[in-house]
Structure 1
Amino acid sequence: MPKDSKAKEMHQVEMMIGYILRIGVVVSAIVIVIGIIMMLVQGTGGYPNGVQPTGFRSIFNGVMALKPYAVMMFGLFLLILTPTLRVAVSIYAFAVERDRLYVWITTIVLIILIVASVIGYLGH
């Protein structure tokens, strides 16, 4: 691959990573604001005092039932997911550069993020 086309592709990957981060933050902020507005309109979070959704399934069910607190939690979930997605795209970027060391390091980081998320989810 010629250097110029490789540099162009790397620039496109970097731009995609930037878009992912921006879009992830904006979408999560919009979802959180929608949850806040729903809470103000409904006058409640949708759950009794001391009860809140803690797992993905309960958050998803709460979003489907239009419970404001669940909508806000879903927005936070999207915010947490954004940098994880960025790490996944970085693996592709390093593969394009043919930088095997960083592909392996970034893959290990992604695995650690996924395992930590699963442990956190199961440990709630």
Structure 2
Amino acid sequence: MDDQSHQRKATATEMAHIEGIIGRILQIGVAVAAVIMLFGLILLLMNGGNGGYPAGHQPTTINAIIDGTIALKPYAVMMVGMFCLIMTPVLRVVVSIYAFYKEHDTLYVWITSIVLVILCISFVIGHTV
């Protein structure tokens, strides 16, 4: 077996491993988000439908969400679950950048990096609007 063939086989094995990691990230991320959301729903039901905030208000800043979660306010706990759900595909993009880098696929490293930057910009815009 020549060096190029051995290197291709090693790269294919590593890529299969990375694809498994990406799949596992998505599974775990969704499961964790679902458990957190379920916990928040249980808290909401235990509080008689009171989310821990005045009617029509929800925690929207990171500090309010953290403080509310520490105080076990249902809406804040559910916001943490939503945050985990949103961050799951973002983490997948980060792992994909690494995978493309390991494959020496520069074009896709750049494209996926641009997607990550766009996601980050959308979070900032969404937070400020």
**RMSD (CA atoms):** 0.9
Question: Structure 1, unaligned stretches of length 5 or more?
Answer: none
Question: Structure 2, unaligned stretches of length 5 or more?
Answer: 1-5
Q: CA deviation at 1:48?
A: 1.2
Query: What's 2:11 paired with?
Result: 6
Whichever residue aligns with residue 30 of structure 1, its letter is V
Q: Find 2:77's aligned residue among 71, 96, 99.
A: 71
Report 1:19-30 matches (<5 A).
Answer: 19-30=24-35
Cα distance in structure 2, aligned partners of 1:30 and 1:88:
24
Query: What's 2:3 paired with?
Result: none
Report 1:38-53 matches (<5 A).
Answer: 38-43=43-48, 44-53=50-59
Q: Find 1:91's aligned residue among 97, 112, 123.
A: 97
Q: CA deviation at 1:53?
A: 0.5
Percent of aligned pairs with the same amino acid: 54
Aligned length: 123
Runs of 4 or more consecutive aligned structure 1 residues displaced over 2 Å after TM superposition: none
Cα distance in structure 2, aligned partners of 1:31 and 1:83:
17
Q: Normalized against structure 1, the TM-score is what?
A: 0.96
Cα distance in structure 1, aligned partners of 2:86 and 2:122:
12
Query: What's 1:61 paired with?
Result: 67
Q: Normalized against structure 2, the TM-score is what?
A: 0.92
- Computing the radius of gyration from Cα coordinates, the structure with the larger value is 2
